[in-house]
Structure 1
Amino acid sequence: MYYPIGTVVLLQGGTHPIMIYGRRQTQMPANREWDYVACLYPEGNLGEDYNIFFNQEEIAQVLYFGWVSEYEQQMQQMLQQA
C-alpha cells in the first residue's frame, strides 16, 4: 500500500516535515523510479529543485495521513497492479 496524496511524513534523519504529492515517480535524467515525491511542508511546491524523492522504507514517522476517498481506493488498486 502507498500512502495517499497529502500524507505528511518525516524521513529518517530528517527534521523538516514533507508532504507526499506523487507516487511511483520517475526522476529524470537518471530515469530512476521512486515510491514517492514530496515537497516541503508547510511551504509547498517551490519548484523542481525542491522535489524530494524517496522510498517507503525511508519514512521514519507519519505525522498526518492523507484523505482516502473512493477514488483513492481505486488508485491504490491500480498502483498495486502496475
Structure 2
Amino acid sequence: MTQVKREYKWLPIGSIVKLKNIKKAVMVYGRDQIQSSSKKNFDYVSVPYPEGNITEEFNLFFNHNMIEEVLFEGFINDEEIMMQKKLNKKRKKPSDADEV
C-alpha cells in the first residue's frame, strides 16, 4: 500500500489559535517569519487576541506544532491557495504536517 504524502496546510492570515502552554488566544498576521531579535525562522507571527497589535514586544512567534487548537480559520480564496503552495515549496521541515 502506497502512502499519499499530504501537503502541509498553513493557517491563513487572521486565524485565531490556542497555543500549548499559553493561556491567551493569538491571531496570526504573518507566516514564514524571521524574528529580528533571535534571527530564528518561525512558521507564524501573531498578536494577542482580541487586543491585536500593542507593541513589538507583544508579538508571539511560533511553529505549527505548538498549536493546541484552531479557534477560527482565516479567509481562504484562490490567492490564499496560491500563497500556501508557494509557502509549501519554501518549507524545509514538513515533519509536523499532520498536526491540527
Q: TM-score, normalised by structure 1?
A: 0.95
- Whichever structure has more strand as a proportion of its residues is 1
- Superposition misfits of 4+ residues, deviation over 2 angstroms: none
Q: Name 1:15's counterpart in structure 2.
A: 23
CA distance in 1, matches of 2:38, 2:25: 25
CA distance in 2, matches of 1:51, 1:29: 12
Gaps of 5+ in 1: none
Q: TM-score, normalised by structure 2?
A: 0.79
Gaps of 5+ in 2: 1-8, 91-100
- Report how many aligned residue pairs link the two structures: 82
The residue type paired with residue 44 of structure 2 is Y
Percent sequence identity is: 39
Residues 1:68 and 2:92 aligned together: no
The higher relative CO (CA closer than 8 Å, separation ≥ 6) is in 1
Q: Name 1:79's counterpart in structure 2.
A: 87
| Displacement after TM superposition at 1:29 (Å) | 3.0
The residue type paired with residue 57 of structure 1 is N
Measured on the aligned residues, the alpha-carbon RMSD in Å equals 0.8
